[in-house]
Chains A and B, each alone.
Chain A
Amino acid sequence: MRAGRHSTEHDPAPVRWGLTLAALSFLALFVVLPLVTIFVQALAEGWSAYWTAIREPDALAAIRLTLLAAGIAVVLNTVFGLAAAWAVTRFQFPGKNVLVTLIDLPFAVSPVIAGLIYVLLFGAQGWLGPWLGQHDIRIVFAVPGIVLATIFVTFPFVARELIPLMQAQGKEEEEAALVLGAGGWQLFFRITLPNIKWSLLYGVILCTARAMGEFGAVSVVSGHIRGETNTVPLHVETLYNEYNFAAAFAVASLLAVVALVTLAAKRLLEWKVRQDGTGVAAAGEAREA
């Protein structure tokens, strides 16, 4: 076999160096350079201008709103993700495949459409609009709409992380605990949760990052009211459209930091999963053994 097999380690040096260089330059041009630009532009007018831009009341309101929307979305989607993963991997029920497919819907649908759905449902001209108007409930162009749109775009993240893992781990450990007399909560907190904790955390982090960075869906339902319905990404756009570049980049740098933290957390968790043997691959091996 040795003669017939073409090992990449034995490619000529120029090929290896050429490919590496191409990959690195591509990365530098499309990822590193823009990232650096954000921070350079943000600090173009000095640290004090940076601080002013971030501590300006409208910016603070945007940060608060983003944290609120992301907070609600992440909590609800974590509960939903756990419930969906549990149901899909532990039970047989009619409509299971439909559920699995629907979980992916937000990935397939353009966020703008996601926003429009809520406008069509809850807007003044929408299906439920007149009824909501009569009862003086505002959803679209208000905080509830932003929260709803954020939940919609981010609901696959936790479920998608958990389903393959729980499938690979199987339900034998839970059955063993059940037969040993464990109740439902004991089962969840002592067996299920410890086995999925790192993947769950990873899903939550991804979900948080996406919830904070969401632009399209939120933009449609927000109405861009400064200090009221502007989230951080929308505030960046508003500032940019006003040619206030330094301030726009200063606020944008916050989102860039969120992205960098997410990446670091991802690396850390992947390392943790390998240590613990709670990953999909490890679960598969354990069952083979």
Chain B
Amino acid sequence: MAIEARHIDKTFGSFTALRDVNLEVNDGELVALLGPSGSGKTTLLRILAGLEHPDPNPASAVLFEGQDVTRQDASDRRVGFVFQHYALFRNMTVFENIAFGLRVRPRKVRSSKNEIRDRVTQLLQLIHLESQADRYPSQLSGGQRQRVALARALAIEPKVLLLDEPFGALDAKVRQGLRRWLRRLHDEVHVTSLLVTHDQDEALEVADRVVVMNQARIEQVGTPEQVFHHPASEFVMDFLGNVNLFHGRIEAGKAVFGPLALDHAGAEGQSARLFVRPHELDIHRHRNGKPSLRARVLKVQSAGSQVRVELEAETGDALTVEMAHAQFRESGVNPDDWVFVGLRDVRIFTEDYSI
């Protein structure tokens, strides 16, 4: 186990940032900590790095490779940390930035000048910025700065690499390029990495496993496929991608949502919520025997990789359906048409558990 956090609580005054959080990251894994802002993910990362301390609790501990580092200073933990706003040393060149972690080592364990130069050169090649070695951070673009920050963190051969919203300050195009590059880099370097992000696409694309956080707790841990297709809670379902939501209740062993009645165990009268993703809905001109809702087409938006159809169900609920262009042409749907919307994969959540 490369990283282990046990029973971590953290409060700032009256605000609870983390409530009894437990986390395990395997050797060589890239794990994404995903959650909305204020869910505690950055605080957890800073506690792992030693930049914050958990609330005193004899049971709480942080372990790296099985070794308890809870009492260790940030400077002794040997973690690589990448900040959202890069935090490059503005008074040093790119080269000096990357060399910093090697230069501040105690004399006994410090590498020679030549070794440091070789290591930094090697890292500059890794981030494709050999030609920028003598520049200052202010002369670089955002994407370049973040690559330097990453090389600086990797220079000390960290036990774990912690990235705090590393692409959060960059524009969409650069973000996409950089996160693919980060994934390839991770496959090359294999350092255990924990990445904080509020962008579900980023988490699902980059990570081996995703840890979904909400309101100071971990909601679910799993592979991107698991959290996306088998969300453990309404929050996870809602946070990972778009959803259509219907409110209903349990009646005679069925979950009833207007004209829809679906088999679902639950106490009589218990309120239930049905979630279905836009791509898990079909549009038909006629009833086909499967559970479906009658709805009127409001708007068709075909500019994009998929066609988005917005509808209003006869129950009054708003619906969004996404489908491939070919499928849309086949359906021959136009605005103001009355159609039937079939539900393929639905998830029903009652008070506190789900199917």
Chain A interfacial positions (CB closer than 8 Å to B):
172-173, 175-183, 186, 190-191, 194-195, 276-278, 286-287, 289
Cβ–Cβ contact B104 & A175, under 8 A: no
Cβ–Cβ contact B91 & A181, under 8 A: no
Interface centre among A180, A278, A286, A289 (most CB of B within 10 A): A180
Q: Could you tell me the distance in whole angstroms from the C-beta of B135 to the nearest C-beta in chain A?
A: 13
- B101 — which chain A residues lie within 8 A by C-beta? 180-181
Interface size on B, residues (CB 8 A): 31
With contacts A173-B89, A179-B51, A181-B78 taken as known, whether A286 is within 8 angstroms of B138 at the C-beta atoms is yes
- B78 — which chain A residues lie within 8 A by C-beta? 181
Q: Mark B73-107, 1 if CB is under 8 A from A, else 0.
A: 11111111101010111110000000011001100
Q: Could you tell me the distance in whole angstroms from the C-beta of B147 to the nearest C-beta in chain A?
A: 15
With contacts A277-B90, A278-B90, A286-B90 taken as known, whether A178 is within 8 angstroms of B51 at the C-beta atoms is yes
Q: Could you pull out 30 A-B pairs where Cβ atoms are within 8 angstroms?
A: A173-B89, A173-B90, A175-B51, A175-B83, A176-B81, A176-B88, A176-B152, A177-B89, A177-B100, A178-B51, A179-B49, A179-B50, A179-B51, A179-B74, A179-B77, A179-B79, A179-B80, A179-B81, A179-B153, A180-B104, A180-B153, A181-B76, A181-B156, A182-B75, A182-B100, A182-B104, A183-B104, A190-B89, A191-B89, A286-B138
Cβ–Cβ contact B83 & A176, under 8 A: yes
Residues 89-130 of B at the A interface (beta carbon under 8 Å): 89-91, 100-101, 104-105
Q: Could you tell me the distance in whole angstroms from the C-beta of A51 to the nearest C-beta in chain B?
A: 45
Q: Mark B54-78, 1 if CB is under 8 A from A, else 0.
A: 0000000000000000000111111
Interface check B36, CB cutoff 8 A: no
Cβ–Cβ contact A181 & B85, under 8 A: no
Cβ–Cβ contact A176 & B138, under 8 A: no
Give the 3 A-B CB pairs with smallest separation, nearest first: A180-B101, A172-B87, A194-B91
The binding surface of chain A is classed by DSSP as helix
Chain B interfacial positions (CB closer than 8 Å to A):
49-51, 73-81, 83, 85, 87-91, 100-101, 104-105, 138, 142, 149, 152-153, 155-156, 169
Extra contacts, 5 of them, besides A179-B80, A277-B138 (Cβ < 8 A), are A175-B51, A176-B149, A177-B89, A179-B81, A287-B85
Q: Could you tell me the distance in whole angstroms from the C-beta of A67 to the nearest C-beta in chain B?
A: 33
Cβ–Cβ contact B156 & A172, under 8 A: no
Cβ 8 A contact of A186, one of B74, B76, B104: B104
Cα distance, A205 to B105, chains bound together (Å)? 35
Q: Could you tell me the distance in whole angstroms from the C-beta of A263 to the nearest C-beta in chain B?
A: 27
- B85 — which chain A residues lie within 8 A by C-beta? 172, 287
Cα distance, A187 to B100, chains bound together (Å)? 11
- A289 — which chain B residues lie within 8 A by C-beta? 142, 169
- A191 — which chain B residues lie within 8 A by C-beta? 89, 91
Cα distance, A178 to B100, chains bound together (Å)? 11
Cβ–Cβ contact B91 & A195, under 8 A: yes
- A179 — which chain B residues lie within 8 A by C-beta? 49-51, 74-75, 77, 79-81, 153
Cα distance, A263 to B138, chains bound together (Å)? 29
With contacts A178-B51, A180-B104, A182-B104 taken as known, whether A172 is within 8 angstroms of B83 at the C-beta atoms is yes
B141 to A, closest residue via Cβ: A289
- A181 — which chain B residues lie within 8 A by C-beta? 75-76, 78, 101, 104-105, 156
- A178 — which chain B residues lie within 8 A by C-beta? 51, 73-75
Cβ–Cβ contact A183 & B90, under 8 A: no
Cβ–Cβ contact B90 & A190, under 8 A: no
Interface centre among B51, B80, B90 (most CB of A within 10 A): B90
B81 to A, closest residue via Cβ: A179
Q: Could you tell me the distance in whole angstroms from the C-beta of B198 to the nearest C-beta in chain A?
A: 19
Cα distance, A173 to B51, chains bound together (Å)? 12
- B138 — which chain A residues lie within 8 A by C-beta? 277, 286
Q: Could you tell me the distance in whole angstroms from the C-beta of A165 to the nearest C-beta in chain B?
A: 13
Q: Could you tell me the distance in whole angstroms from the C-beta of A127 to the nearest C-beta in chain B?
A: 40
